[in-house]
Structure 1
Amino acid sequence: MKMNENHILELDEQKSELGKVEISPEVIEVIAGIAASEVEGVANMRGNFASGVAEKLGRKNHGKGVRVDLNDDGILVDVSVVIMYGVSVPEVAKLIQTNIQQALQTMTAIQLNAINVHVVGIQFETTEAVVEEK
């Protein structure tokens, strides 16, 4: 696995007589974002201002809250999440790391150097009043 000049991963093990396979960092962000949001206890992913505006305009951003850093040392994934109140933060963080690692290994065969989980907020349960129709 190596990076080309456009910061796209080239998978060495995927080269064949038919050509090569390249994976964009945005693909890794989307896979990691979906894998993290699937974990029970994660309320939502925390993105930046631009991703918030895009979502308000109706564009779903599955890579929201995920940053992929490709460098000479390897691949680092940073995930920013808001968790539900009352869950165990270390357990949820470990599940996020495991789910992301398994998803990326299964879908891309990429080995990561680190998956850093940043808990940036807590979501409290909201109570909604139930109105009975008569």
Structure 2
Amino acid sequence: MPDRPDDQTTATATAAPQSSIRGMAPATTGRGLEAITPQGKTSIADNVVAKIAGIAAREIDGVHELVPAGAGAAIAGLASRVTGGDTRSLGVNVEVGQQEAAIDLNMVVDYGVSIPQVAAAVRQNIINRVAAMTGLTVKEVNIAVTDLYFPEEQARQNQPRVQ
């Protein structure tokens, strides 16, 4: 944000322009957003936006967890859990342009909650958090609810088979 009215901020993608996707400005290839001011340069990596979105989604009641999509992503997710890797962006995919971002996420919700209400709350929280922390406009948040979580099943799994 400019300190004075005469300061100008220019946001540019750090990668070579690609074809426009979803009406967005050219996307980056993982290097993120770059803002240049007379006082210096600020870069925001795509994985930072993904982590913000993942954390924002998990802040909503009714979201049990975010999960990766596809077999390869599931294996990568399992590996990061086993090795203690960072799972905050697990299940989140982002496209970051010069001024906008599009976010896709896969989640498991708690049984009994209103899925449309949870999805709307997740979408709004992601839009607010990403905008507040990065200055990007979130063009869309696509949510796939891939499963339901049943707490009573978890309780049964934690009980010993024999006593």
Query: Which TM-score tier does this pair reach, normalised by the shorter chain?
Result: 0.7 to 0.9
For 1:112 and 1:119, locate their aligned partners in 2 and report how far apart those are by CA, in whole Å: 20
Q: 1:63 aligns with which of 89, 93, 102?
A: 89
What is residue 23 of structure 2 aligned with on the other side?
A: none
Q: Note if 1:3 corresponds to 2:13.
A: yes
What is residue 64 of structure 2 aligned with on the other side?
A: 43
Instruction: Give the aligned residue type for 1:43.
Output: H
For 1:72 and 1:60, locate their aligned partners in 2 and report how far apart those are by CA, in whole Å: 26
Q: Note if 1:23 corresponds to 2:44.
A: yes
**Higher Cα Rg, which structure:** 2
TM-align CA RMSD: 2.2
Q: Note if 1:104 corresponds to 2:130.
A: yes
Q: 2:140 aligns with which of 114, 120, 128?
A: 114
User: Cα distance 1:73–1:38, how it changes in 2: closer, same or farther (>3 A)?
Assistant: closer
TM superposition score normalised by structure 1:
0.85
Listed one character per residue, the Cα deviations across residues 44-88 of structure 1 (whole Å, up to 9, x for unaligned) are 010222122111122231101100023589421001100000100
Instruction: Give the aligned residue type for 1:124.
Output: F
Instruction: Give the aligned residue type for 2:128.
Output: Q
How far did 1:2 drift?
2.9
| The 10-residue stretch of structure 1 (64-73 or 44-53) with the greater mean CA deviation from structure 2 | 64-73
Count of aligned pairs between the two proteins: 128
What is residue 123 of structure 1 aligned with on the other side?
A: 149
| The 10-residue stretch of structure 1 (88-97 or 50-59) with the greater mean CA deviation from structure 2 | 50-59
Q: 2:78 aligns with which of 52, 63, 72?
A: 52
> Structure 1 unaligned runs (5+)?
none
Listed one character per residue, the Cα deviations across residues 93-120 of structure 1 (whole Å, up to 9, x for unaligned) are 0000011011111111110111111101
| The 10-residue stretch of structure 1 (72-81 or 36-45) with the greater mean CA deviation from structure 2 | 72-81
Q: Matched residue of 2:136: which SS?
A: coil
What is residue 90 of structure 1 aligned with on the other side?
A: 116
> Are the equivalent residues in 1 in contact too, given 2:60–2:121 (CA < 8 A)?
yes
> Are the equivalent residues in 1 in contact too, given 2:13–2:33 (CA < 8 A)?
yes
User: Cα distance 1:34–1:88, how it changes in 2: closer, same or farther (>3 A)?
Assistant: same
Instruction: Give the aligned residue type for 2:90.
Output: K
TM superposition score normalised by structure 2:
0.71
For 2:13 and 2:94, locate their aligned partners in 1 and report how far apart those are by CA, in whole Å: 13
> Taking every aligned residue pair, what percent have the same amino acid on both sides?
28
Q: Matched residue of 2:138: which SS?
A: coil
